[in-house]
A and B are shown apart, each in its own frame.
Chain A
């Protein structure tokens, strides 16, 4: 098939993070500090990524501010012509650090929030985080960079949805991402405690719709549905190896941020293989490109060009076969594994990220 250059790079600079969110989608086993790529490694990754066609660079983690070389990486990505996005908890973002990053070409900040109130937010973050987030949002606004607020939704904060939208308005966010939890990595361990109820999802729909309409001219709202409750799967990554790649803190290159979960996949690393070779030739990036890998019912499905068979990681995690139809799909012969999860009684205990 015809492979086109990637548009985006998710650079996971570190797995270190001051928060302990139970919905964390990073792997259960994290990369330790001494296994992280060096500054020179990341400079090379960024140069190779731009040469390959990458235009959007998302500096993420963990908490990217935990890397002392963040200013150098922002400056390099920006000098290459990339649009540089900082994905942060806000903890550790001071006025001096932000001013420095802006002067080096930072283009956009995506800030996370866990709830609408200090009490709930700090409970879900497992840290005193809420006040830092308000302060970080104010700094970003003062810098005149665009601000996105990103909130992961689940059973423990859906009741605060209207308050979360008001929080985004108070912060002056230009974009608000309201994303129902995706069950990968640590989040999968907490699935039965995080799964929203059908009534929570039903209540959210008119609240989001009204806010989208009311804030049309000031704030873009993106709502990511709870896919277990949907009849069709999400069009994960707009196709495997199609638009974006992820580089993990240790240099592992992933076609999808959750792909390290697919144990049958042989992943390449930037420490020993050029990024372009990984994008175009590696077995991992070619494994589920296009449609040749599909079996029935995807192979002849009229939706295969819409959702690409759904998420490969979810197919692997729930069925053991990464080439299976995403079992979220109502046409999947394995949909019962998802329905079974939805009928389970809720788990009361959340296991905080550690």
Chain B
């Protein structure tokens, strides 16, 4: 069960980078490319395999207003379904 204390990380083989041709963040993985929206990219940049969802939410809260832990959890759950994020 994914909860606020869970620790998300990019799944093995998944890389987050910035594409200067399309001027957007991209997720690269075996045989695929995904373009995360700005919110997902901001969350993914903080997934280092050590921070909990609570810690990520707190860090996002310093950059943006109105960040809710449930929203961060929802974003990460969707990325988990697409095999981009794994939980440790």
Contacts A55-B19, A83-B28 given; does A108 touch B13 at CB 8 Å: yes
Q: Taking the complex as formed, is A119 at the interface, i.e. its CB lies under 8 A from any CB of chain B?
A: no
Within 8 A of B (CB), among A143-173: 144-146, 148
Residue of A nearest to B26 (CB): A55
Q: Complex formed: what's the CA distance from A229 to B33 in Å?
A: 30
Q: Is the CB of A220 within 8 A of B21?
A: no
**Chain A's nearest CB lies how many Å from the CB of B44?**
16
One digit per residue, 1 when the CB lies within 8 angstroms of any chain A CB and 0 when it does not, for chain B 23-54 equals 00010111111000000000000000000000
**Chain A's nearest CB lies how many Å from the CB of B41?**
15
Q: Is the CB of A174 within 8 A of B33?
A: no
Q: Taking the complex as formed, is B83 at the interface, i.e. its CB lies under 8 A from any CB of chain A?
A: yes
Q: Taking the complex as formed, is A52 at the interface, i.e. its CB lies under 8 A from any CB of chain B?
A: yes
Q: Complex formed: what's the CA distance from A146 to B31 in Å?
A: 11
Contacts A146-B13, A220-B83 given; does A85 touch B33 at CB 8 Å: no
Q: Is the CB of B22 within 8 A of A146?
A: no
**Chain B's nearest CB lies how many Å from the CB of A238?**
12
Q: Which residues does chain A contribute within 8 Å of B17, judged by CB atoms?
A: 81
Q: How many A-B residue pairs have CB under 8 A?
A: 48
Interface size class of B (residues with CB under 8 A): 10 to 19
Q: Taking the complex as formed, is B12 at the interface, i.e. its CB lies under 8 A from any CB of chain A?
A: yes
Number of contacting residues on A, CB 8 A? Answer: 22
Q: Which secondary structure dominates chain A's binding surface?
A: mixed
Within 8 A of A (CB), among B35-76: none
Contacts A83-B15, A108-B13, A174-B12 given; does A148 touch B30 at CB 8 Å: yes
Q: Is the CB of A174 within 8 A of B13?
A: yes
Q: Taking the complex as formed, is A289 at the interface, i.e. its CB lies under 8 A from any CB of chain B?
A: no
Q: Is the CB of B21 within 8 A of A144?
A: no
Q: Complex formed: what's the CA distance from A5 to B26 in Å?
A: 14
- Contact residues of B with A, CB < 8 Å? 12-13, 15, 17, 19, 21-22, 26, 28-33, 83
- Contact residues of A with B, CB < 8 Å? 5, 7-8, 50-53, 55-56, 81, 83, 85, 107-108, 110, 144-146, 148, 174-175, 220
Closest 9 CB pairs of A and B: A146-B13, A83-B28, A108-B30, A53-B21, A146-B30, A7-B33, A55-B33, A148-B30, A146-B12
